[in-house]
Structure 1
């Protein structure tokens, strides 16, 4: 007769069941799993922790956005200041062409005093 083979050398059947042909014939789609309404539920403590983490992330993002906006506004203000200084310099140069440079200097000082008083 034949001698039995030891159990360790016998091929082990796979634990994944072999699916047959799908009823609708769409074998390329993944098979659906059973509906488990309680599968996605989490405890109240876990939900609170998740909300806290989300709030921390949103606060950080808000800070980054404010920082970026402040940098942007500072750059815009710098450009405006530079443009205003350039226009003022050109205006004084035009005045210097028509009148004496000492009078232009006096007008500059006078305008500077008025600017300080008005602001």
Structure 2
């Protein structure tokens, strides 16, 4: 079984793009934080890439919920609103917060660093 990555983002086009970029990994996608938490508990992925601003449950709340379930969870935050939310995401337990849009190489380097 390969490396599992959970992508959580409300932008479906971005989820498709990420899935193509990351085809060397087993990719699981969720459209909001609540779904992300549920899929984390079901699949126990090696890494989570979590958008912050989403409907139903935002990435900060979802990160807190995942970290309560698994304190060793590896979560990378992702947001276009970096200045506004990065600190809260890190406090919730993210390893790092990437600013959208990010380059393919940037995301691969982070995955390799944390897996």
When the two structures are superposed, what TM-score results if normalisation uses the length of structure 2?
0.18
- The higher radius of gyration belongs to 1
- The structure where helix makes up a greater share of residues is 1
- The structure where strand makes up a greater share of residues is 2
